Structure 1
Amino acid sequence: MDELSTGSDSAYSNSWISWFLSSKGNEYFCEIDDDYILDRFNLTGLNTEVQNYSQAFDLITDNFDEEFPEEVRASLEVQARFLYGLIHARWIITSRGLAKMLEKYKKADFGRCPRVLCQQQPLLPVGLTDVPYEKSVKLYCGRCEDLYSPKSSRHGSIDGAYFGTSFPHMLFLVYPHMIPPKVGPPDVAGAGRGRPEAEGVGEGVSTAAAALKAERYRPRIFGFQVHEIAKLQRWQEAHRDRQVAHLEALEQEQ
């Protein structure tokens, strides 16, 4: 899913990981500690997901001495990137991994929220699924709690499974002082005056029906909704249901 980045052969003289992290398009990734990679317990199950697992592992740990034709080497390179991405998803929810990603977050390495009211809030990468090759990475704003696509096509093609569904919410759970203040609710004092309209709603489609179809992102850690956010979402959905009922009543009066 992610694009192959190019790098000079001289970069291999340092390490494969250094070359990988310095390649264009890989700015979202952080460096995984060697001790974590070399502990095979941390890699349990990955051998069934990665083709040529042993050779890919040797490549990212700089123990790769065999000479292969260029096309074989390119295939192993893809598998090494895939393996590093899967290890990365596990690493960044450890204490050391969270600390490294926190530093990148503070520097806004993942970009800033494009929403004006979020006041340049830094973003965090998140996956919509933990299964590889299904969804590309998205960017989560802790202020408006919405998702955005990366601006760069290089970043937009990164597999979301390399960051996982739990990472940004785990980071805020461990570092609660980093949770940004929420955007205040809009002024709804004049709601319901006149005929309600919604962007993208055509003739014959009720505003209430369009509102009910709106998809929203639900933050989760290991598949479970985050408690405080889940409580807030229940309140938001109850408020939305009241507004939808009000819209339906207005449309019936027309």
Structure 2
Amino acid sequence: MNVEEFNSETDSDYSSYWRDWFISSRGHEYFCEIDEEYLTDRFNLTGLNTEVQYYQYALDLVTDVFDFECNDDMREQIEKSARHLYGLVHARYIITTRGLQKMLEKYKKCDFGRCPRVLCSGQPLLPIGLSDLPNVKSVKLYCGRCEDVYVPKSSRHAVIDGAYFGASFPHILFQVYPQLIPQKSTERHIPRCFGFKVHASAALIRWQEQQRVAQRRRLIEAGVEVPTPEEAERMQDSDDGEEEEVDPAEVEEKQPSW
């Protein structure tokens, strides 16, 4: 869907023409509509003129005062800049009182999806950026129950720049609305074999065996102990068949390879 396909008949309909088109487009479901008063306050746009190409034209398009005659290629570039400008302003807007209220309504309706972790019991997600800088990381989804992040299911959402939401948004939302902080899940998956729990000491035994083997290797390399034929063969294989004498003075510099 492009701007030309979004028809408007009256001046009142045209007052929010571009923003209505942007919000209603497929793949933009994570965005909320930015109030016109916020967009027209230049203080809220501080510093963005250096971040966005064709900044003034893009701003005019977003605020629906664009009247520049240009060819199709130029128009496409300006629309691209307008989408980028809207995203950068969006990251600032959603941490304001009004923006938090709008995103809260979307959160309550599960517009951002639910946590894929089974033991989170369908906890609603919030969009988050792993970086506040544009063109670094795509948007991810944050779960307040398990406090982990996930990739959006839809490929249309997975390509949205994470900077359009910022790394602080979910945490600010929960600070402003602490009653919404989900209770942490105490459930954990318990490994079982044929119904029997896998004993925790099994992992400890495996780790101790690895440490024992590594320690014996160091003692053999230091000449303190004599390797068995099997150990000597394994050491020879690990050295790619090359036999060399171990200098005890170099033992401290060597790293175990098994």
Instruction: State the TM bucket, normalised to the shorter chain.
Output: 0.7 to 0.9
Q: How far 1:192 moved relative to its partner?
A: 3.1
Question: Distance between the aligned counterparts of 1:98 and 1:249, measured in 2?
Answer: 51
Q: Is the 8 A contact 2:6 2:21 kept in 1?
A: no
Q: Is the 8 A contact 2:119 2:187 kept in 1?
A: no
Question: Distance between the aligned counterparts of 2:143 and 2:40, measured in 1?
Answer: 33
Partner AA of 2:42 in structure 1: R
Q: Is the 8 A contact 1:6 1:24 kept in 2?
A: no
Gaps of 5+ in 1: 197-242
Corresponding residue number in structure 2 for 1:135: 137
RMSD: 2.1
User: Are 1:249 and 2:249 counterparts?
Assistant: no
Q: How far 1:65 moved relative to its partner?
A: 1.2
Which of 21, 24, 39 is 1:22 aligned to?
Answer: 24
Provide the aligned length of Structure 1 versus Structure 2. 201
Corresponding residue number in structure 1 for 2:7: 10
Q: Is the 8 A contact 1:192 1:247 kept in 2?
A: no
Q: How far 1:52 moved relative to its partner?
A: 0.8
Q: How far 1:71 moved relative to its partner?
A: 1.0
Corresponding residue number in structure 1 for 2:201: 193
Corresponding residue number in structure 1 for 2:41: 39
Q: Is the 8 A contact 1:137 1:161 kept in 2?
A: yes
Corresponding residue number in structure 1 for 2:105: 103
Question: Distance between the aligned counterparts of 1:101 and 1:130, measured in 2?
Answer: 18
Question: Distance between the aligned counterparts of 1:105 and 1:179, measured in 2?
Answer: 12
Q: How far 1:191 moved relative to its partner?
A: 5.4
Corresponding residue number in structure 2 for 1:181: 183
C-alpha change, 1:192 and 1:91, in structure 2 (3 Å) is same
Deviations 1:65-88 (A, max 9, x none): 122111110110000000000000
Deviations 1:21-54 (A, max 9, x none): 0000000000111111111001100001001100
Question: Distance between the aligned counterparts of 1:65 and 1:247, measured in 2?
Answer: 72
Corresponding residue number in structure 1 for 2:120: 118
Question: Distance between the aligned counterparts of 2:209 and 2:37, measured in 1?
Answer: 63
Question: Distance between the aligned counterparts of 1:191 and 1:126, measured in 2?
Answer: 38
Q: How far 1:6 moved relative to its partner?
A: 3.5
Q: How far 1:190 moved relative to its partner?
A: 6.1
Question: Distance between the aligned counterparts of 2:208 and 2:57, measured in 1?
Answer: 65
Q: How far 1:253 moved relative to its partner?
A: 4.5
Question: Distance between the aligned counterparts of 2:6 and 2:142, measured in 1?
Answer: 35
Which of 142, 149, 152 is 1:150 aligned to?
Answer: 152
Deviations 1:153-210 (A, max 9, x none): 100000000000000000001000000110105369965322x3xxxxxxxxxxxxxx
Deviations 1:89-119 (A, max 9, x none): 0000111111110000000000000110000
Percent of counterpart pairs with the same letter? 59
SS of residue matched to 1:10: coil
Corresponding residue number in structure 2 for 1:213: none
Q: Tell which has more relative contact order, 1 or 2 (C-alpha 8 A, sep 6+).
A: 1
Gaps of 5+ in 2: 192-196, 214-258
Q: TM-score, normalised by structure 1?
A: 0.74
5 Å-filtered alignment, 1:67-86, equals 67-86=69-88
SS of residue matched to 1:139: strand
Corresponding residue number in structure 1 for 2:89: 87
Question: Distance between the aligned counterparts of 1:247 and 1:99, measured in 2?
Answer: 52
C-alpha change, 1:247 and 1:48, in structure 2 (3 Å) is farther
